[in-house]
Amino acid sequence: MFGISLRSLLSHKLRLALTTIAVILGVSFVAGTFILTDTINATFTSIFATANAGVAVTVHGRPIAGDSGGIGGGQNHPIPTSLLSTVRKVDGVKDAVGNIFREGATLIGHDGKPIGGNGPPTFGANWITDTNISPYHLRRGTPPQGPTDVVIDAGTATKNGLVVGDSLPIVFLGGVEEHFTITGIAGYGSSDNLAGATIALFTESTANRVLEAQNKYDSILVSAQSGVTDVVLRERLAAALPSYAVAETGQQAAAAAEQSTESTISTFIGTPLLVFAFISLFVGSFLIINTFNILVAQRTRELALLRALGATRAQVMTSVLVEAAVTGLVASILGFFVGILIARALLSVFGSASTGGVTLVPRTFIVAVLVGTIVTVIAATLPARRATRIAPVAALAEALPETQPLPRRRIAVGLIIFVLGCAALVTGLFTSAGSKLQLIGAGFLGVFLGVALLAPLLVVPVATVLGWPVAHSRGAAGILAGQNARRNPRRTALTAAALMIGLALVTCVAVLTDSVRVSTNDAIEGAFRADFIVFTQGPDFNTQAAQALQHDPSLRDVTEVRGTSVLIRGSSQGIAAIDPANLGSVLALSMVSGTASAIATTNTAIVDSTEATASNVHLGQLVTFNFPQGGSVPVRIGGIYTANALVSGYVVSLATMEPNVPTARDAIVLANAANGVSPSQAEKALHQDVKAFPLLMAMSRSEYRAFVGSSLDSFLNLIYTLLAFAIIIAVLGIANTLILSVLERTREIGLLRALGMTRSQTRSMVRWESVIISLLGAVLGLSVGLGLGVAVSGSLHDLGITEIAVPGTNLILYAIIAGVFGVVAAIFPTIRASRVDILRAITTE
């Protein structure tokens, strides 16, 4: 039987071509994701390992409780410079150096624009003179010595054409440009760069000033005397350190950094990509089912003959499954190699400082091949079961059996799966349990499967409606196109369902983003009264901008909204501080109870109603704020307000925050046009002021609204890109169904040609069938997507999505694009159909 499968496979090469491509695409996405994340992880691992090579022990502050990690994320207690002498005195320490390393030194390129834009972090640090310990290895030039000297990393230098001797403007913490001279170029560990981040190195005193380090270190790097192991030294140091500091061996530090990077990468890159990879495979499985169904139908007589000659049902089933397994295996192996190309392409897009190679581990190959083969075999199981039901007598039958009506059992199963899917989705959306995402995922899957199972019921009515204009405008070709689309409802339904999935997800996200857009528009409109807002897309900025604006006579009510994090009941919370005098003229807070002006009293806060409910805080209550670098302050709740687009959580006055926060950081600055100054004049003046701050943006309220909306567009574009694979596979599926149908109907097409149908009419017939199938997919996809989008948006009411919007033009556009996809999918099938040899078609048999 194995031989029969293989021979069948070879004779159906063309028929399986598109199935193979679909599996290749799905598998390459999976493999590409693994290769990409492995490569990035490997890059970081080697960077951390080489950078820490000379470090025996690292001393750093204990993490502030409740603060989570991540690249540059976790906030640690700062280390006072005085600790350095304590460390140096510990027995076995050869040398110890203070290390300042933090975000906030943005280099300005030759084009006057910030290097790296809003992408990778921009680190500033002090040059470490002990070359045994230092992770920085000077490649050219000299170390920084004067207050305007800077050494930059080799990766950034090469990429931006910066050389020793260049003058380099640098912006610190969102402030004004300061001018430095590049004295040297250095590598980080053995690599050019910290994976795409920029690093600027200064003398310790300059680093301390520009990074506002307050004479504190972020860590102390220690080297050991010969004969003292890292572990022993770590223990000795641990004993000598105050309680706020901890000691880790260089290896531990590298491992910890590695682990936190790995989890960040898998959370932000790996998992989302894998989700979309599996969507592609899921869509691909529809195509596989269709192909094998059609192959089984075409081979009815052959399979019946095998049965008549004594083959058991199991043997027939095996023969189909072996064919599927071999197809899946070959396609998966090819998919793995395409995955390597995809990973390379993505790495170059991410601009990561990859060393050129990709990291291939056996796991990737095994997963890719297993996933592809298993998906193919599982998808082929249904057609294989159908093959076993072919009666031996079918070998003698005249014509192919007509398709039977949809069995009731299938309708019932479809309905049950659909309802269960809806239930899981709704439960998932509105629960706060840990299994939320799994439930939502299962819900989407159930809805898609249910609709796919029920879709054959919709084919005839929907195709009749869609086919009507076609039949009336395209004559015989149009009539036949509609008839052909309806003639095998299961096949048409499955083909359309594959397209449905991609379109439904696109529609769902479009509804969600539009709802967010409309809701934020309203929210922004309702959130603040100020004419202008100054903000950045990077970390919070220093107060230089606010000071500059306060001196501008065209502006009044210049108001900083400062941010910091505090510990409240053991968990880290962002809080905002604002000058109470301007509160009413720049912000529009709607109060649930109490008054906003209550914060004018020192150590009084207002809190938003969601947070108040979540942490059970009520008016008049005392809540303790633990400032990481300040004191523990009991704060009275003076009001509860409704969270809005600009402000949420706890809000206090500047006077309450300032004594407890050593470095002031503004999240936004708000301002109004001064009396007697027209808004346009004031805006011109504002833009002039903000020009000095390359990282900051200044906008009027309406510009800001549009800006927030446009950032949603880029999210939507990202989703389009990620779903492109699934949609390409669905379009391949339409082409696949059409090609197989054309092959199946060769005789009929020959007859039509003999009866006077021109080649162009033949092409038109196939093309319109394709368009009808695509539009059916669009109808299903848009309906299901609308339902999903409304459900998802509705569940996010508490996050500020107060209005549900349906992006009508987008949906019409999707339907039109689906129609165009139909035309594209039909290109090859129409050529095939118009080339049917009339004589052979009508005389063979």
Question: Would you tell me which residues interact with another protein (CB under 8 A)?
Answer: 399, 402, 475-476, 479-480, 483-484, 486-487, 747-748, 751-759, 761, 838-839, 842-843, 845
In angstroms, what is the minimal distance from the CB of 377 to another protein? 33
Q: How far is the CB of 495 from another protein (least distance, A)?
A: 17
Closest CA to 672 of 587, 589, 586, 588: 586
In the complex with another protein, the residue whose CB is nearer, 255 or 476, is 476
Smallest distance from another protein to CB 12, Å? 24
Q: Closer to another protein at the Cβ: 223 or 488?
A: 488
Residue 705 CB, nearest distance to another protein (Å)?
A: 55
What's the CA gap between 27 and 340, in Å, rounded?
A: 11
Residue 267 Cβ vs another protein, minimum distance, rounded to whole Å:
53
Smaller CB separation from another protein, 454 or 752: 752
What is the SS3 assignment for 782-838? Answer: HHHHHHHHHHHHHHCHHHCCCCCCCCHHHHHHHHHHHHHHHHHHCHHHHHHHHCCCH
Q: Which residue, 680, 670, 681, 645, is CA-closest to 545?
A: 670
According to DSSP, the β-strands at 604-608 and 650-653 are antiparallel
* 433 Cβ contact partners less than 8 Å away, ≥ 6 residues apart: 439
Tokens standing for 576? 């905002």
Neighbours of 666 (CB within 10 A): 24
**Closer of 602 and 843 to another protein (Cβ):** 843
Q: Indicate the residue type of 308.
A: A
Shortest CA distance to 119 belongs to which of 107, 101, 127, 137?
107
| Nearer Cβ to another protein (301/759) | 759
C-beta of 281: minimal distance to another protein in Å?
Answer: 34
Nearest distance, CB of residue 506 and another protein, angstroms: 33
Residues 6+ apart with CB under 8 A from 654: 560, 562, 577, 578, 579
Q: Measured from the CB of residue 456, what is the shortest distance to another protein in angstroms? A: 16
Confirm if 532 and 585 have CB atoms less than 8 A apart: no
Minimal distance in Å, beta carbon 753 to another protein?
Answer: 7
CA distance 470 to 764: 10
Specify the DSSP element, H or E, that contains 99.
Answer: strand 93-99
Closer residue to another protein in complex, CB, 140/747: 747
CA pair distance 12, 743, nearest whole angstrom: 12
Q: Which is nearer to another protein, 702 or 760 (CB)?
A: 760
Integer Cα distance of 761 and 272 in angstroms: 45
Q: Write the CA distances from 494 to 15, 723, 780, integer angstroms.
A: 17, 19, 11
- Cβ contacts of residue 728 below 8 Å, gap of 6+? 25
| Beta carbon nearer to another protein, 17 or 479 | 479
- Strands (DSSP E) contained in 449-596 are 532-535, 555-568, 571-578, 591-594
Does residue 390 sit in helix, strand or coil?
coil
Nearer to another protein (CB atom), residue 97 or residue 765: 765
CB 558 within 8 A of CB 56: no
- Residue 480 CB, shortest distance to another protein, in Å, is 7
How near is the Cβ of 18 to another protein at its closest, in Å? 24
Q: Which lies closer to another protein via its Cβ, residue 183 or residue 830? A: 830
| Comparison of 330 and 841: residue with beta carbon closer to another protein | 841
Q: What is the DSSP letter of 406?
A: P
In the complex with another protein, which residue's Cβ is closer, 77 or 753? Answer: 753
**What is the closest distance, in whole angstroms, from the C-beta atom of residue 402 to another protein in the complex?**
6
The H or E element that residue 149 is part of is strand 149-153
What is the per-residue burial (b if ≥16 Cβ within 10 Å, else e) of 296-317? bbbbbeebbbbbeeebeeeebb
Characterise 574 by phi-psi region: left (phi > 0), alpha (psi -120 to 50), beta (else). beta
H or E element in which residue 97 lies: strand 93-99
Nearest distance from C-beta of residue 736 to another protein, angstroms: 21
Residue among 487 and 562 whose Cβ is closer to another protein: 487
Amino acid at site 241: L
Nearest to another protein of 525, 748 (CB atom):
748
CB of 799 to another protein, least distance (A): 52
